Amino acid sequence: MLSNSLIELDRAHLVHPVASYRGHEQQGVRVLASAKGATVTDARGHQLIDGFAGLWCVNAGYGHDSIVEAAARQMRELPYATAYFGLGSEAPIRLAAELADRAPGDLKHIYFTLGGSDAVDSTIRFIRYYWIARGQPQRDQFISIEQGYHGSSTVGAGLTALANFHTGFGIPFEWQHKIPSPYPYRNPVGQDPQAIIDASLAQLKDKIETIGPDRVAAFYAEPIQGSGGVIVPPKGWLKAMRNLCKEYGILFVADEVITGFGRTGPLFACTEDEIVPDFMTTAKGLTSGYVPMGAVFMADHVYQVIADGAGASAVGHGYTYSAHPVSAAVGLEVLKLYEEGGLLENGVKAGARLMAGLEGLRDHPLVGDVRGRGMLAAVELVTDKVAKTPLPAEAAPARRVFDRAWDNGLVIRAFANGVLGYAPPLCCTDDEIDAIIERTAKTLDQTLEDPDVRRALKD
């Protein structure tokens, strides 16, 4: 059971990520105690369906004994092995080979990290190295997209385009540029797919020409913008952007930290979009959150330039925990569960049910938009469906809607602008998906009764 002293210890000592420190001191922590399948239980015994798979990462679901055994076996045999000094160990070698085998195109070289932020950070280092090796050191400008999220490392957070990752930190750097998000629901050109694609192409072209085509090193895109509010670009958008980068000879990085490993259906969303990027960054579902790990997929043509550029010298980028054997052993087992264990297949079925269920909420007075792909979805709340007016800040959607859903037995991500994010584990049963929908409907009805929401509706 939860003891008050735990809450006090947390308040006194644990600095939480992306939190209002003062707000957290007031509210105190909610302690999670155990989990199984798609259900989490807090320290007070309250059971909830985890509609967000932790932080869009526990794709396989909780409580798989085979994952625990794979980690324990590896810990017993060889808990750590460095990949420096020409050394290695079996699990990361095998995992790299399995991933390369399934990767699109020539993404055959795998660099393991500890998570998504350092995967993105690693691409920035590799890309600078690549252009210097190609004799074009002036290619040091990077472009990403408004409302994009590329992690929280010092340089990666500058490619991220969410205000609270910049404010007070003195970033982005002057070499980090942004183009507008394709955001279909709120795109000034309207919702016509081709108009959105044309607008993004014109914006990227304009940005490249303004910076100078020979100065641009790389362009970063998420197949679906996750932390920006689950923004799903139209079909064909990613391919069009990738092709434009190819025309200009600019490297293209697909950030699949959220979309990878079955989240949108296949192992990698890039394959649905029929593109082969120069780099692909992954994490989260790679180990299903059981242990930390990320992976950078590097195209062979990039690898060869870096390898030749370095010659006999070491490419000076690495971590103590690069290619960690325990994380890799978990990754191998998780991959088996996705494929042989049928989780990818179930995710596709459950994703279709989730989308159909959320679509059924469209007529609710607060629902402005429903969007998603596979087990990645969002409902955008508004107080005026024609003007698309977001919920007022006084209604504090991130806190109040989250709390209501929590009390109703559902974990969702409630963004500050009133977007509700869904990323349930791929193992969800039909009943669990239906419960997510029912609990969301109840949460929406309760939100409609919020005095601050009612006031905004009347205006």
Residue type for position 412: I
Element containing residue 399 per DSSP (H, E): helix 397-407
- For position 149 contacting ligand PLP by CB under 6 A, the verdict is yes
CA angle 107, 113, 117 (to 5 degrees): 95
Binding ligand PLP by CB under 6 A: which of 59, 117, 187, 282?
117
- Which residue in the block uniquely carries the two structure tokens 């929401």? 453
- For position 227 contacting ligand PLP by CB under 6 A, the verdict is yes
In whole angstroms, the minimum distance from the beta carbon of 362 to ligand PLP comes to 26
Omega before residue 172 within 30° of 0, cis:
yes
Binding ligand PLP by CB under 6 A: which of 64, 150, 178, 439?
150
Residues 179-208 touching ligand PLP, rule: CB under 6 A, are none
Point out the residue whose Cβ comes nearest to ligand PLP. 116
In whole angstroms, the minimum distance from the beta carbon of 332 to ligand PLP comes to 19
Binding ligand PLP by CB under 6 A: which of 115, 233, 341, 351?
115
- For position 158 contacting ligand PLP by CB under 6 A, the verdict is no
Pairing relation of β-strands 419-422 and 413-414?
antiparallel
Which neighbouring-strand residues pair with 379?
A: 370, 420
Binding region for ligand PLP (CB under 6 A) out of 39-47, 70-78, 222-230, 239-247: 222-230
Nearer to ligand PLP, 255 or 369 (CB): 255
How many residues bind ligand PLP (CB under 6 A)? The answer is 14
Number of H helices, E strands in the chain: 16, 16
In whole angstroms, the minimum distance from the beta carbon of 73 to ligand PLP comes to 25
Q: Which string of x and - marks every residue 265-294 that binds ligand PLP (by CB under 6 A)?
A: ------------------x-----------
- For position 226 contacting ligand PLP by CB under 6 A, the verdict is yes
Contact 224, 376 (CB under 8 A): yes
d(C-alpha 360, C-alpha 434), whole Å: 11
In whole angstroms, the minimum distance from the beta carbon of 135 to ligand PLP comes to 30
How many residues belong to the chain?
459
Which neighbouring-strand residues pair with 280?
A: 254, 297
Hey, is 72 helix, strand or coil? helix
d(C-alpha 249, C-alpha 372), whole Å: 31
Binding region for ligand PLP (CB under 6 A) out of 200-208, 253-261, 330-338, 378-386: 253-261
Nearer to ligand PLP, 156 or 351 (CB): 156
- For position 263 contacting ligand PLP by CB under 6 A, the verdict is no
d(C-alpha 296, C-alpha 108), whole Å: 10
Nearer to ligand PLP, 56 or 338 (CB): 56
- For position 141 contacting ligand PLP by CB under 6 A, the verdict is no
In whole angstroms, the minimum distance from the beta carbon of 167 to ligand PLP comes to 19
Nearer to ligand PLP, 240 or 257 (CB): 257
- HEC assignment per residue over 212-274: CCCCEEEEEECCCECCCCCECCCCCHHHHHHHHHHHHCCEEEEECCCCCCCCCCCCCHHHHCC
Non-local (6+) Cβ contacts of 39 within 8 A are: 47, 48, 49, 50, 62, 432
Pairing relation of β-strands 376-384 and 367-373?
antiparallel
| Neighbour-count burial of 190, counting CB atoms closer than 10 A to its CB (0-12 exposed, 13-18 middle, 19+ buried) | exposed
CA 447 to chain centre: 27
Between helices 300-310 and 116-133, what is the axis angle to 10°? 60
Binding ligand PLP by CB under 6 A: which of 54, 61, 92, 116?
116
In whole angstroms, the minimum distance from the beta carbon of 449 to ligand PLP comes to 32
- For position 151 contacting ligand PLP by CB under 6 A, the verdict is yes
In whole angstroms, the minimum distance from the beta carbon of 413 to ligand PLP comes to 11
Nearer to ligand PLP, 74 or 147 (CB): 147
Binding region for ligand PLP (CB under 6 A) out of 111-119, 205-213, 328-336, 437-445: 111-119
Binding region for ligand PLP (CB under 6 A) out of 66-74, 181-189, 255-263, 380-388: 255-263
Binding ligand PLP by CB under 6 A: which of 91, 126, 147, 222?
222
| The token pair that represents 386 in the structure block | 């024609």
Binding site for ligand PLP (CB under 6 A): 115-117, 120, 149-151, 222, 226-227, 255, 257-258, 283
